[in-house]
Amino acid sequence: MDGANNMKPDGRKIVIIGGGFGGLSAARNLKDTDARVTLIDRKNYHLFQPLLYQVATGSLSAGDIASPLRAVLNKQKNTEVLLGEVIDIDPDRRKVILKDGEIDYDDLIIAAGSSHHYFGNDDWESFAPGLKTVEDAAEMRKRVLFAFEAAEREKDPERIKALLTFIVVGGGPTGVELAGALAEIARETMKNDFRNINPGDARIILVEGLDRILSSYPENLSRKAQDSLEKLGVIVETGCIVTKMDFRKVTVKKGEREEDILCETILWAAGVTTSPLSKVVAEKFHVERDRSGRIPVNANLHLENKENIFVIGDMALTLGRNGNPLPGLAPVARQQGAYVARLLKNRMKGKTTGPFRYRDFGNMATIGRSQAVADLHKIKLSGWIGWVIWLFVHLMYIVGYENRLLVLIQWAWNYVTKGRSNRLILGRDIAEKIKKGIPEAEEHSDKPKHQKIF
């Protein structure tokens, strides 16, 4: 049973940091090689992040979109999964340094992903949680549901209005999807759930700094997405930036006009930066990161001066055919993982590999129950057809057949009933926090952040 014995003792040691789309794809594509593969992650599961907003808004359980890494990889006898946190890399001794140990490598694939970025306003994190982890999703879900609960108990009409105001910062796909789902929860799912408030009175405001939402999409799809959101009752504010926030209000600036919005729930879908490991990599290997913290790699996805150190996914700065950096999307990471695996297999056979080319099949985002926009380059789709395609593509890429089935059933169910049965507020001692409203300053001042919330 000692699986280690199944590994070729003389195989190359390939270490992969991160079990997201990039890292997992690399690991899977290194199956059936003589290499000894070690995949390190801080979590024991792979997460299908594109659907995380549905966990945040109570449509799905975290378990539906997460797969234990050990279960995904347990048939690959040459692959070991290690739950651990990487804090450093020692290129001279060829070791990855964990908080509690060291791992030897011959080749290293760094795919540690990204997290939220508050543009220098780090204190905003306690007011406006982002959406990268299961814990983030639970936090968002809790704040949204809490706001309605607190409004139901509140007598002051001003405060009720503030509790029923939800601001989503950032008009990219995540922000658009969150805002659409929030509008549906308020107008449909919870329509009959309260006795003192009308959840349909909720104001959902999507704030985007650029002049249109989904700015990486063609203009007409942006416009269609905005139309769909507005039909759901979302207030879309473009050319509008957040300048200040606290637990009771948000200050936004549109042109010259500054305005305070009383609001107790802010969801962050704006800035993204790379994992802290990118700083370590930049220092150790003397490379310069771009503004988003990404590490430049060459056409073979390794560091210019180190051909056994690969960086892929959200952490990598790679240029597309048009000379622009590739976006931080699942398909990019997945293709890069597969590419590096192929390159390493070729190397083992003494062959070289051509440069990485991203095959861009397009972008898509959903807006609520049956609307989506899809930019498939030659074809631009919106509305119901866009949504069906969105649905199909996402189902296809979820890891694990069981998860696919569970997600499909819950989507079908929610579609028919307009219900969302996963809207549980998890955590201890929640009831006592209701009346004061959740986002109390003292709740969040502790370090590490959020810990008391989940």
Which residues, 85 to 124, sit near a copy of itself by CB under 8 A? 85, 99-101
Q: In which residue are the tokens 């997945």 written?
A: 334
Judge residue 328's burial from the number of C-beta atoms within 10 Å of its C-beta, 0-12 exposed, 13-18 middle, 19 or more buried: middle
Question: In this structure, what token pair is assigned to residue 29?
Answer: 């594509």
Q: Cβ 61 to a copy of itself, closest distance in Å?
A: 4
Q: Cβ 149 to a copy of itself, closest distance in Å?
A: 5
The answer to whether 425 touches 145, Cβ cutoff 8 Å, is: yes
Question: Strands 203-207, 234-237: parallel, antiparallel or unpaired by DSSP?
Answer: parallel
Residue 193, interface with a copy of itself (CB under 8 A)? Answer: yes
Report how far apart, in Å, the C-alpha atoms of 60 and of each of 7, 199, 421 are: 38, 21, 8
Q: Which stretch binds a copy of itself (CB under 8 A): 161-169, 222-230, 382-390, 433-441?
A: 433-441
Report the residue from 44, 216, 243, 445 that binds a copy of itself according to the rule CB under 8 A.
Answer: 44
Q: Which of 21, 47, 20, 54 is nearest to 366 (CA)?
A: 54
Residue 319, interface with a copy of itself (CB under 8 A)? Answer: no
Catalytic residue among 139, 149, 154, 177: 177
Chain centre distance of CA 81: 22
Nearer to a copy of itself by C-beta: 77 or 380?
77
Q: Cβ 382 to a copy of itself, closest distance in Å?
A: 29
Alpha-carbon distance of 110 to 102, in angstroms, equals: 16
Residue 219, interface with a copy of itself (CB under 8 A)? Answer: no
Nearer to a copy of itself by C-beta: 192 or 352?
192
Alpha-carbon distance of 258 to 81, in angstroms, equals: 51
Nearer to a copy of itself by C-beta: 37 or 261?
37
Q: Considering only residues 51-80, where is the footprint of a copy of itself by CB under 8 A?
A: 60-64, 66-68, 70-71, 74-75, 80
The answer to whether 132 touches 115, Cβ cutoff 8 Å, is: yes
Question: In this structure, what token pair is assigned to residue 261?
Answer: 């919005």
Per-residue contact string for residues 388-427; x = within reach of a copy of itself by CB under 8 A:
------------x-xx-xx--xx--x---x-x-xxxxxxx
The answer to whether 34 touches 56, Cβ cutoff 8 Å, is: no
Q: Which stretch binds a copy of itself (CB under 8 A): 295-303, 339-347, 363-371, 429-437?
A: 429-437
Alpha-carbon distance of 433 to 450, in angstroms, equals: 15
Residue 198, interface with a copy of itself (CB under 8 A)? Answer: yes
Whether 208 sits among the annotated catalytic residues: the reply is: no
Per-residue contact string for residues 131-170; x = within reach of a copy of itself by CB under 8 A:
--xxx--x------x---x--xx-----------------
At residue 125, what is the residue type? E
Q: Cβ 80 to a copy of itself, closest distance in Å?
A: 5
Residue 451, interface with a copy of itself (CB under 8 A)? Answer: yes
Number of Cβ within a 10 Å radius of residue 408: 14
Q: Which of 260, 57, 267, 236 is nearest to 158 (CA)?
A: 260
Alpha-carbon distance of 265 to 423, in angstroms, equals: 16
Q: Cβ 421 to a copy of itself, closest distance in Å?
A: 5
Per-residue contact string for residues 320-359; x = within reach of a copy of itself by CB under 8 A:
----------------------------------------
Nearer to a copy of itself by C-beta: 64 or 184?
64
Alpha-carbon distance of 380 to 367, in angstroms, equals: 15
Residue 244, interface with a copy of itself (CB under 8 A)? Answer: no
Q: Which stretch binds a copy of itself (CB under 8 A): 22-30, 83-91, 245-253, 369-377?
A: 83-91
Alpha-carbon distance of 370 to 257, in angstroms, equals: 35
Query: Per residue, what are the HEC states of 373-384?
Result: EEEECCEEEEHH
Per-residue contact string for residues 254-293; x = within reach of a copy of itself by CB under 8 A:
----------------------------------------
Question: Catalytic positions, please?
Answer: 177
